[in-house]
Chain A
Amino acid sequence: MAILHIRQCSKRFGGLVAVKDLNMSLAPGDLYGLIGPNGAGKTTIFNLITGVYTPDEGSIELDGKTIHGRKPSAIAKQGMSRTFQNIRLFKSMTVLENVQTARHMNKKQTVFDAIVRTRSLKAEEAEIRHEGMELLKIFSLDTRAHELARNLPYGSQRRLEIARALATNPKVLLLDEPAAGMNPLEAIDLMHLIQFCRDKFHLTILLVEHNMKVVMGVCEKIQVIDYGETIALGTPKEIRDDPKVIEAYLGGA
C-alpha cells in the first residue's frame, strides 16, 4: 500500500504543460529520487503535492486520503512536510524558535491558555522546547540554538530547514535540492543524515537533487522527468544505463 500516490496528474500554466500525466507511488520507508534537467517540472511536482498548486487533472493521495485541492497547511497537518529549493527560514527568529514554530500544530493550547499563561501551557511550552532541542542535537545545531536563523552559515541553514520540517512530525518528507551549494564532503554527510532520519523517524522521503553522485548513492528508486513527463523509472543502475535518460541529459542525435 503506497503512502503517497499520484495518479495521472497534470498541471498547465496557460499554454505551457508543466506536468503531464504524472504517476508516482511511494511505499512507506522509500527513499525516492526525482531527477530531471532544469525546467523539467520537479519543483512544480513538489508544489502540487504540498498544495501550493492544485492539479488540473488527476489525484494525489497521502496515506489513503485525497489531498489535492486542499490548503498547504491542511496537507501539512495530514503528515506532509517539505524544504525549499531557495531556503525559506523564519529569519527573524532564533534557530530554536524556527523548530518550535513548526511544532505548533501538534499542540493543544488555546488562545486563552496563551493569554493567561496557564500551567498546562507552560508545561507544553517546556515540552516543545525540549523536543526542539532534541531535534537540533541530531542536526548538530543545538550549540547555536539561540542565534538568529539568518546568521547561520549556508550549510547549517539547509540543515535547519530539514530539522524544522521534521518538527511537524511528518509521514512524508519532501526535500528540494537539500545539497545545493554544499561541497562534496558536506553533501555526503547530509546524505548519511537523511538516511539516518528516515530510519529513526520512519519517514518516506522524496528527494529532488541535481548532484547525481548523491542521488545515485542514496536513493533506492529514481524517477526521471523531462518536459513534465516521466521518461524513466527504476533503480539507480537501471537509470544510469537508460538511453532516454542519457539523451535527456546529454542531448541526442
Chain B
Amino acid sequence: MKKWLFWFSAIVVLAAMQAGVRDVIGPYYFQILILVGINIILAVSLNLINGVTGQFSIGHAGFYAVGAYTSASLVYYGQTSIRAAISFLPHMAQDVVLLLLGLLAGAIAAGIAGLAVGIPSLRLRGDYLAIVTLGFGEIIRVLILNIDAIGASRGFSGIPLLSNFFWVYFFVLVTVVVVHNLVDSSYGRAFISIRDDEIAAEAMGIDTTRFKVMAFVISSMFAGIAGGLFGHFEMNLHPNSFLFTTSFYLIIMIVVGGLGSIEGAILGAILVTVVLEAFRGFGPFRLVNFAVLLVLIMLYRPQGLAGNWRLFRKAGAR
C-alpha cells in the first residue's frame, strides 16, 4: 500500500505549496515555475518517442496545440451547461470538474491526432518521419489560424482560469510515474528494442508498428494534457505559442538532459526554461548566449546532463 501513501503525501505537499508558493516567490517566478512544470510534462512525454522508442518526432508542439485548444474550447463553450448540470457542487468543485473534463478532452483529442499521424507515418524511418511530424505541427497551427471560433490569428482569449500550481505539478507527477512505470515493463523493453534494433525486435515477435503507434499516442495524450493546463493558466492562447520552434526547444530539452532518460528530460526542461528566462537580460544576444551554452554542455557532457544518473530505481533490477 506504499503506492497510496506516496500519492496521499504528494497531494498534501502540493496542496500546502499551492496555498503559499505564489506569495513566497512572487508572480514572476511563479509564472516560470508553472512553465517549468508544463515543459517537464512535454519533455518527459516527447522523450518516450524520441529517446526511448528512438523515433525522431519534431511535431510535439502540434499535439500540445491540439490539447490546448480542445480543452480551452470545451470549457469556454460548454462551461454554462456543464456548470448547470453539476450545480449541486460548490463552485470550487465545479472548477475542478471543468478542468478535469477539459484536460480529458485535450488528452483524447491529442491522442486521436497522434493515432491519425502515427498509423500512416510510423512506417517511415528517421528523416522521413521527422519531416512528416514537422509538417503535421505546422498544419495544426495553420488550421488554428483559420478557425474563427477559437480566435484564429487574434488568439483565443477569455479562457477561464482553472489550472494552478497544484494541478500542474500533480500532472507532472502523473506523467513521470506513468512514463517510468511503462518504460520499466515489458512494454518499455519493447520500445527500447525498437530503438536498438528494429529488425531484431520484429524477429523476436515484437510488432514494431503497433508499439511505435502506442508510444506516439501515449506521448501525444500527455502533450494534450500539458496544453490544457497551459491554456487554463494563461487564460489566452495564440498560435504563435505552438510554432515549430516550440518543438525544437522540447527536443533541445531532452537532448541536453540525456536522450532516453526521464531524469534527463526533467533536468533539461528545467534548465532550458530557466536559462531562456534568465538570459532575457542579454537582449538581442539572448539566443546567441543560449546557443553557446548548449554547445558547451554538449562538448563537456555529450551523454546529456543526467547521463547514467538515475533517480528512479528500476523495479526490475535486483
Residues of A at under 8 Å CB distance from B? Answer: 50, 52, 71-74, 76-77, 81-82, 84, 88-93, 97, 100-105, 107, 109, 111, 113-117, 121-122, 125, 128-129, 146, 164-165, 167-168
- Per CB-CB distance, the 3 closest pairs between chain A and chain B, nearest first, are A76-B205, A114-B185, A88-B200
Interchain CB contact under 8 A, B190 and A104: yes
Instruction: Give complex CA distance A114, B316 in Å.
Output: 12
Instruction: Give complex CA distance A167, B193 in Å.
Output: 15
Interchain CB contact under 8 A, A125 and B200: no
Instruction: Give complex CA distance A93, B203 in Å.
Output: 17
Interchain CB contact under 8 A, B186 and A88: no
Interface size on B, residues (CB 8 A): 31
Residues of B at under 8 Å CB distance from A? Answer: 3, 178, 181-182, 185-190, 192-193, 195-197, 199-208, 214, 218, 260, 315-317
Interchain CB contact under 8 A, A115 and B200: no
Interchain CB contact under 8 A, B192 and A71: no
Q: Which residues of B contact A115 (CB under 8 A)?
A: 178, 181-182
Q: Which residues of B contact A125 (CB under 8 A)?
A: 185-186, 315-316
Specify which of A93, A111, A114, A117 is in contact with B3 (CB 8 Å cutoff): A117
Interchain CB contact under 8 A, A114 and B189: no
How far apart are A106's CB and chain B's nearest CB, in angstroms?
A: 9
Interchain CB contact under 8 A, B182 and A76: no
Interchain CB contact under 8 A, A104 and B186: yes
**Nearest CB in chain A to that of B197: its residue:** A88
Interface centre among B188, B195, B204, B205 (most CB of A within 10 A): B205
Instruction: Give complex CA distance A90, B207 in Å.
Output: 16
Interchain CB contact under 8 A, B186 and A107: yes
Given contacts A73-B208, A101-B206, contact A128 B193 (CB under 8 A): no
Interchain CB contact under 8 A, A72 and B203: yes
Q: Which residues of B contact A111 (CB under 8 A)?
A: 182, 187, 214, 218
Specify which of B181, B199, B203 is in contact with A114 (CB 8 Å cutoff): B181
Interchain CB contact under 8 A, A81 and B192: no
How far apart are A99's CB and chain B's nearest CB, in angstroms?
A: 10
Given contacts A76-B202, A111-B182, A125-B186, contact A101 B193 (CB under 8 A): yes
Q: Which residues of B contact A97 (CB under 8 A)?
A: 189, 316
Interchain CB contact under 8 A, B204 and A93: no
How far apart are A114's CB and chain B's nearest CB, in angstroms?
A: 4
How far apart are B176's CB and chain A's nearest CB, in angstroms?
A: 12
Instruction: Give complex CA distance A116, B218 in Å.
Output: 14
Specify which of A52, A92, A117 is in contact with B196 (CB 8 Å cutoff): A92
Q: Which residues of B contact A164 (CB under 8 A)?
A: 204
How far apart are A163's CB and chain B's nearest CB, in angstroms?
A: 12
Q: Which residues of B contact A50 (CB under 8 A)?
A: 203
Given contacts A73-B205, A76-B202, A101-B206, contact A109 B192 (CB under 8 A): no
Interchain CB contact under 8 A, A114 and B206: no
Instruction: Give complex CA distance A97, B191 in Å.
Output: 12
Please list 30 pairs of residues, one from A and one from B, whose beta carbons are closer than 8 Å in the complex, sorted by A's number: A50-B203, A72-B202, A73-B201, A73-B205, A76-B202, A76-B205, A82-B203, A84-B199, A89-B197, A89-B200, A90-B201, A92-B192, A93-B193, A100-B189, A101-B193, A101-B204, A102-B205, A103-B186, A104-B190, A104-B205, A105-B204, A105-B205, A109-B185, A114-B181, A114-B182, A116-B181, A117-B181, A117-B185, A125-B185, A125-B186
